[in-house]
Amino acid sequence: ALASRDSSIIIVGGGGTMGSSTALHLARRGYTNVRILDVYENPSLNSAGNDLNKIAGADAVGLFGGASDDAWVAWTTDPVFMPYAHSPGKLELTSIGSAGAKHLREKYDKLISLGRSDIAWLANEDDIRQRAPHLAQADIKGWCGLYCSTGGWVAARDALNSVGYELRRLGVKTAFGTAGTFKELILSDDGKRCIGVKCIDGTEWNADLVVLAAGAWSPVLVDLKGQCTSKCWVYAHIQLTPEEADAMRGIPTMYNDTYGFFMEPHPTLNLLKLCNEFPGYTNLQKVQPFGSPKPITISVPRSHAANPSDTIPTESLDDIKRLVSKCLPHLAGRPLINQAMCWCTDTDDGQWVVCEDPRWKGLVLATGDSGHTFKMLPVVGGQVADLIEGKLSEERRQLWRWRPGVGDPLGTGRGGPPPKDLSQVPGWRHDS
C-alpha cells in the first residue's frame, strides 16, 4: 500500500471529476487526513465536469478495464449521485456502412451476449424515429445505431457539487484559491520522494502522498512526457420557452459521431445544451511543467472561468447550427448562448494514467480522462483508492501504467485526424 488511513494525502484538482471522486472513496474507506486543493471550490469552475449535463448510461461496459461496468448502478443507487442520474434512454448513432457502424454493431453484440434486454439495434431512420419521436422532423436518412433504454444523462455540475458537500460532511479538508493553486512539488533532499505541494501564494502543504488529478491541467503542472494531450471541446445553449422545454422532456439522449449530441433540457432553466463532435482543439504554448529541465511546447488549457467572454470557434458554431437544423429544425436560427470550451486530456490509447509516478515515490497520477470519465464519477476514485491500497488488479495496473512513447498499439484511442490548434481557428478569442 502507498498510504495508510492516517497518512496525510493531498489531492491536486480535488474540485474536479477524478480528484473529488478519489477524495470521496478515500474518506469513505476511513482515511482521516485527506485535503483537496483546487483553484476553485467544488464544483471547480476549471473542471470539464462543471457543466449542465453529461452523457452517461448503462451501455458503458468494458471501458477503462471494465471499471465502467458498475458506474450506472452507482449513479442510480448511491445517495450522493442518485438525484442527478436521469434515465430517459440513449441513442448512439452513426452512418450506415461506416466504421462507426461496425464498432456500434460489435458493442450491440456484446451487450446482447451479456443477456441485456434493454438494448435494441436501430437499422434505419424508421427504427430510430420509433425510439425518438422528437426526431420526427429530423433529416436522419442513412443513420443507424444502438438504443439503450437504461441511462441517458447526468446533471454534471450538480453531481460534482453533491460530492463536494459529502466531502465536507466526511471531514475532508480543503484549500482553494491561491493557497490551493499548484506551483510545484516539494521533493525530499535526495530528490527521490514527493513530500508535498507548494502553492502559488507560498503555502507549503506537506503530505505523505500527493495525488495529481488536475484533469487537462495535469501535463502543464507536472511533465507527463507526452502521455496526455489536453484539448477542448465546445458547447452552446438554446434558451427554450417553457412550452418548448416541456415538449422535449423525456427524450432519449441523442449522440451521432459526425453531427454531435444533445439531451433533455435543464429541468428548471429550460436550457438545451448542444455539442458538435470533432477531434478537439489544442492550445499550444511554451511552458515549463515541474520536472521538465526546460520549457516545452504543449497544449495548455484556457480556463473559461478566467476568460468568461471567450466564445467558440466559428467553425464549431457552424457545426452546432448544422446539428440543430438537421435534428431540431424548429429551433434553427435561435440564438446560441453560453458558448464555452471544456478541457479534457487525452491519452493516445484512451486509457487512464492511474499509477505511481516512477520518478518520485509518494506521487500518484490520476489523469488521462480521455473525454469519457464524467460518466465514471461515482467509481473512478475507487480505482485510485485501490491503487493506493495495493488492490488494483494486475490487468488494470498494466492498462493505466506510466507509458511515455507507447502510443496506441491496440487501436483503443480516439484515432482520427490530429486536432487543430486554436491559433488556426477564428472566432473564439474575446479578450477585451
Judged by the rule CB under 6 A, the positions of this chain that interact with ligand FSA are: 55, 233, 275, 277, 344, 371-372, 375
344 vs 364 by CB, closer to ligand FSA: 344
Q: What are the grid coordinates assigned to 60, written together?
A: 458503458
31 vs 153 by CB, closer to ligand FSA: 153
Give the separation between CA 79 and CA 54, rounded to whole angstroms. 19
- Intra-chain end-to-end CA distance of the chain, in Å: 50
37 vs 341 by CB, closer to ligand FSA: 341
Longest Cα pair distance anywhere in the chain, in angstroms? 68
Dihedral angle at the C-alpha atoms of 53, 57, 59, 62, nearest 10 degrees? Answer: 80
181 vs 311 by CB, closer to ligand FSA: 311
223 vs 369 by CB, closer to ligand FSA: 369
- The single-letter DSSP state of residue 143 is E
Amino acid identity, position 175: A
Question: Please, is 2 exposed, middle or buried when counting C-beta atoms within 10 Å of its C-beta (0-12, 13-18, 19+)?
Answer: middle
Shortest separation between residue 177's beta carbon and ligand FSA, angstroms: 28
88 vs 371 by CB, closer to ligand FSA: 371
- In DSSP terms, which residues pair with 43 in a beta bridge? none
Shortest separation between residue 338's beta carbon and ligand FSA, angstroms: 16
Half-sphere exposure (Cβ direction) of 44: Cα atoms closer than 13 Å? 32
Shortest separation between residue 263's beta carbon and ligand FSA, angstroms: 10
Shortest separation between residue 324's beta carbon and ligand FSA, angstroms: 17
375 vs 403 by CB, closer to ligand FSA: 375
49 vs 180 by CB, closer to ligand FSA: 49
Give the separation between CA 176 and CA 168, rounded to whole angstroms. 13
Shortest separation between residue 145's beta carbon and ligand FSA, angstroms: 13
Give the separation between CA 47 and CA 163, rounded to whole angstroms. 14
Residue nearest to ligand FSA (CB): 371
Shortest separation between residue 375's beta carbon and ligand FSA, angstroms: 6
Give the separation between CA 216 and CA 222, rounded to whole angstroms. 11
- Residues 18 and 215 sit within 8 Å (Cβ to Cβ): yes
Shortest separation between residue 313's beta carbon and ligand FSA, angstroms: 15
40 vs 259 by CB, closer to ligand FSA: 259
Give the separation between CA 173 and CA 127, rounded to whole angstroms. 51
Shortest separation between residue 223's beta carbon and ligand FSA, angstroms: 23
**DSSP state string for 200-257:** TTS-EEE-SEEEE--GGGHHHHB--TTS-EEEEEEEEEEE--HHHHHHTTTPPEEEET
158 vs 277 by CB, closer to ligand FSA: 277
- Residues 54 and 375 sit within 8 Å (Cβ to Cβ): yes
Shortest separation between residue 345's beta carbon and ligand FSA, angstroms: 10
Shortest separation between residue 418's beta carbon and ligand FSA, angstroms: 14
Give the separation between CA 282 and CA 346, rounded to whole angstroms. 11
